[in-house]
Chains A and B, each alone.
Chain A
Amino acid sequence: MGNYFSSMFDRLWGANKELRILILGLDGAGKTTILYRLQIGEVVTTKPTIGFNVETLSYKNLKLNVWDLGGQTSIRPYWRCYYADTAAVIFVVDSTDKDRMSTASQELHLMLQEEELQDAALLVFANKQDQPGALSASEVSKELNLVELKDRSWSIVASSAIKGEGITEGLDWLIDVIKDEQL
Chain B
Amino acid sequence: MAPLDKKIKKFLKNSIRIAPKISDKGELAELRTGLVSQYPQTRKDAIKQTIKQMTLGKDVSTLFPDVLKNIATNDIEQKKLVYLYVMNYAEIHPELCILVVNTFVTDAQDPNPLIRCMAIRTMSMIRVDKILEYIETPLRKTLQDDNPYVRKTAVICVAKLFQLNKDLCIELGVLEDLSNALGDTNPMVIANAIASLTEIYNLDESVVPLPTLIQSHFDQFLNALNECTEWARITILTALSEYRAVDSLEAQNIIDRVTAHLQHVNPAVVLATIKVIIKNLGIIDGGQNSDLIMKKISSALVSLMSTPPELQYVALKNIRIILEKYPEILTKELRIFYIKFNDPLYVKLEKVEILIRLVDPSNLKQCTLLLNELKEYSMELEPEFVSRCILGLSQLGIKYSDERFIQKVLDILVELLESGQDSIKDDCCIALCNLLRHCPTNASMSKNVCSLLNAWTSPVTLLQQDSAKCNYIWLMGEYPQHFSTLNDKIDEFVENFSAESTLTQILLLITVVKLHNTLKGSVLQTVLECATHETSEVDVRDMAMIYWRCLSIDDSSALVSQLCNLHAPVINSTIDTFSPEVLEKLLSQLGTISSIYFKPMDDSMRKQLQHQNIIKGKHFDELQSLAKNELESKNNDDILLDFDSESVNQNTSGQNQNNNLLSDLDDLFDFGATSSSNNNQRSETATEDMNKLSLNNTDSSKLNATSLNTDDLLNLF
Contact = CB atoms under 8 A, between A and B. Distances in A.
Answer yes or no: are A and B bound together in one complex. Answer: yes
A17 B41 contact: no
A8 B45 CA distance: 12
Contacts of A142: none
Contact of A78 (B39, B42, B65): B65
Nearest to A4: B45
B102 A53 contact: yes
B624 A77 contact: yes
A104 B323 CA distance: 78
A74 B105 CA distance: 18
A52 B72 CA distance: 9
A180 to B, nearest CB: 6
Interface majority SS (helix, strand, loop, mixed), chain B: helix
Contacts, number: 86
Interface residues of A, number: 36
Given A11-B17, A51-B102, A53-B102, A74 B39 contact: no
A7 B101 contact: no
B102 A10 contact: no
A149 interface: no
A85 B42 CA distance: 15
Given A53-B102, A74-B623, A82-B69, A11 B2 contact: no
Interface of A: 3-4, 6-8, 10-12, 16-20, 47, 49-54, 65, 70, 73-75, 77-78, 80-82, 84-85, 119, 180-182
**Residue among A50, A75, A84 facing the most chain B CB atoms (10 A cut-off):** A50
**Residue among A49, A74, A84, A181 facing the most chain B CB atoms (10 A cut-off):** A74
A75 B578 CA distance: 61
**Residue among B102, B134, B623 facing the most chain A CB atoms (10 A cut-off):** B102
Interface string B25-48: 000000000001011111011000
Interface residues of B, number: 37
A97 B10 CA distance: 39
B46 to A, nearest CB: 10
B2 A52 contact: no
Given A11-B18, A74-B624, A51 B39 contact: no
A12 B18 contact: yes
B10 A3 contact: no
A72 to B, nearest CB: 9
Interface of B: 1-2, 6-7, 10, 17-18, 20, 36, 38-42, 44-45, 65-66, 68-69, 72, 96, 98-103, 105-106, 134, 620, 623-624, 627-628, 631
B98 A74 contact: yes
23 contacts: A11-B17, A12-B18, A16-B41, A17-B38, A18-B40, A19-B38, A50-B101, A53-B72, A70-B102, A74-B98, A74-B623, A75-B98, A78-B65, A78-B96, A78-B98, A78-B99, A78-B627, A81-B66, A82-B69, A85-B38, A119-B6, A182-B2, A182-B10
Contacts of A4: 45
Contacts of B1: 180
Contact of A81 (B18, B106, B631): B631
